[in-house]
Amino acid sequence: MKIPKSKITYCRKCKKHTEHKITEHKTTGKRGSLKHGSIARAHKRGLGIGYGNLGKWGSKPAMSKFKRTGVKSTKRISLKLTCKDCKKSTISVIGRLKKVEFE
């Protein structure tokens, strides 16, 4: 889907319609090495090792052991709209798309 690089839309901070720059919002979604959900923290708490179903905190088998069925061919795309006047940015989800192009 082709999306324009900028559009005029309402800005909550300016409280009026202004020009916004559109970019794709990307998330990494990985565990941080020192964060609350880190493996190091799990080991300190005595989790992240052993046997049995510990859910998120259990040991992690190799992903190659699993056959990934029902894998989606599209991604949920979210756009980052940045106001050109006040630089305030908002995120809006536009739905599932295969590919995004900015023109």
Q: Using CB under 5 A, list all residues that contact Zn ion.
A: 11, 13-14, 83, 85-86
Q: Which amino acid is at 41?
A: R
Q: Which is nearer to Zn ion, 8 or 94 (CB)?
A: 8
The least distance separating Zn ion from the CB of residue 66, rounded to whole angstroms, comes to 46
Using CA atoms, how far apart are residues 53 and 41, in angstroms rounded to an integer? Answer: 18
The least distance separating Zn ion from the CB of residue 16, rounded to whole angstroms, comes to 8
Listed residue (79, 76, 78, 85) closest to 10, CA to CA: 85
Distances (CA, A) of 22 to 8, 29, 42, 66, 77: 10, 22, 39, 38, 12
Q: Which is nearer to Zn ion, 11 or 48 (CB)?
A: 11
Q: Which is nearer to Zn ion, 86 or 97 (CB)?
A: 86
The least distance separating Zn ion from the CB of residue 57, rounded to whole angstroms, comes to 43
